[in-house]
DNA sequence: CGGGATCCCGCCAGATACTG
DNA sequence: CAGTATCTGGCGGGATCCCG
């Protein structure tokens, strides 16, 4: 499982996981609760090919768990693992800073309204 | 200044800034204190072309400030702005989770020693 | 419904060389 | 020392088609 991630620096390791365009957004969505494949696809506006590969990465890394229900039509649900749930504190920090930063941008915009 | 970042979702906005391979690492380095160009280059193992463009981005986004000293040889120092310093709490979360995740990887490694 | 296979394009980031 | 300019390869990620 993700042997290439056996790093030493926590920042480098975290960066490798967050580097994609969608990792943070997917993790945030899953932190809100279990999601089905199509729910993620709709709510994020991501193509299914990209979503599929992103989810596969997160699953390989042990952060997301995938549950398949033997039904017709098939149902697959994604949720955070234990280590994935620990990531929620990072998401909370990112969210708080994101709001601060958006405020900052508006406060310093060139053409003040 | 970074008008294209005027977003609504704090996660999307943050993601746009952190997406690069080096943003988090550069910000962490600068959170430790003011750094000169060559210091960053050495300590991060990044090429100077890549570092230059990454720093220029962070400066445009208002997160990093650049100070030029009129000396010979020239000296340029980089540090975090106010909104940049607020990012340190995100870095702290990332660091804590990174350690947790590294522990998790070792605990779940295939060939337990 | 979930997701793999393939094609393709744009951009990130490294290498190299040049400048003040 | 601190950059910029240019070229280039690789890869992320979108579009499309196909499959169980």
Residue A3 pLDDT: 57
- Report the mean per-residue pLDDT for chain A: 92
Q: What is the pLDDT of residue A14?
A: 96
Helix (H, G, I), strand (E, B) or coil at B64: strand
Chains A, B: CB contacts within 8 A come to 132
* Residues A84, B78: Cα–Cα separation, whole Å: 34
Q: Identify the residue with better confidence: A8 or B1.
A: A8
Question: Does A66 fall in a domain?
Answer: yes
In a domain, A103, yes or no: yes
Nearest CB to B101 within list A13, A89, A100: A13
Q: Check pLDDT > 80 for residue A113.
A: no
What pLDDT sits at residue B100?
Answer: 97
Give yes or no for residue B112 having a pLDDT over 70: no
Q: Using a CB–CB cutoff of 8 Å, tell me whether B113 touches chain A.
A: no
Q: Do B1 and A90 touch (CB under 8 A)?
A: no
* Nearest-angstrom CA–CA distance, B89 and B92: 5
Q: Is residue A100 part of a domain?
A: yes
Tell me the sheet residues that pair with A6. none
**Where residue B40 sits, what CATH number does that domain have?**
1.10.10.10
The per-residue pLDDT for A71 is 86
Task: Tell me whether residue B88 is in a domain.
Answer: yes
CB of A84 closer than 8 Å to CB of A64:
yes
Strand D: which residues have Cβ below 7 Å from it? Answer: A 19-22, 46-50, 54, 74; B 19, 36-39, 48-49, 52-53, 55-56, 66, 68, 73-76, 78
The 3-state secondary structure of chain A, one letter per residue: CCHHHCCCCHHHHHHHHHCCCCHHHHHHHHHCCCEEHHHHHHHHCCCHHHHHHHHHHHHHCCCEEEEEECCCCCEEEEEECHHHHHCHHHHHHHHHHHHHHHHHHHHCCCCCC
Domain count, chain B: 1
* Domain-located, residue A77: yes
Q: Which residues touch strand C (CB under 7 A)?
A: A 36-38, 48-49, 52-53, 55-56, 66, 68, 73-76; B 19-22, 46-50, 54, 73-74
Residue pLDDT, tens place only, A33-61: 999 999 999 999 999 999 999 999 999 99
Are the CB atoms for A21 and A3 separated by under 8 Å?
no
Give the integer Cα–Cα distance in Å for B97 and B113: 24
Q: Is residue B113 part of a domain?
A: no
pLDDT above 80: residue A25? yes
**Is the CB of B79 inside 8 Å of chain A's CB atoms?**
no
| Distance from C-alpha of A102 to C-alpha of A111, rounded to nearest angstrom | 16
- Structural domain of B44: 2-107
pLDDT one-digit tens code per residue, A59-87: 999 999 999 998 888 999 999 999 999 99
Closest residue in chain B to residue A11, using alpha carbons only = B95
pLDDT tens for B46-96 read 999 999 999 999 999 999 999 999 888 899 999 999 999 999 999 999 999
Taking the CA of residue B4 and the nearest CA in chain A, the distance in Å comes to 10
Whether A112 is covered by a domain: the verdict is no
């Amino acid at each position: 499982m993700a042997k290439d991630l056996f790093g030493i620096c926590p920042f480098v390791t975290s960066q490798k996981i967050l580097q994609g365009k969608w990792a943070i957004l997917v993790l945030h969505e899953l932190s809100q609760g279990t999601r089905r494949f199509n729910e993620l696809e709709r709510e994020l506006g991501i193509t299914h090919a990209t979503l599929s590969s992103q989810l596969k990465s997160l699953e390989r890394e042990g952060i997301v768990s995938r549950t398949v229900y033997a039904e017709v039509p098939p149902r697959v649900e994604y949720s955070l693992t234990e280590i994935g749930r620990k990531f929620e504190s990072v998401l909370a920090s990112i969210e708080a800073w994101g709001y601060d930063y958006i405020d900052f941008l508006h406060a310093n915009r060139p053409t003040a309204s």
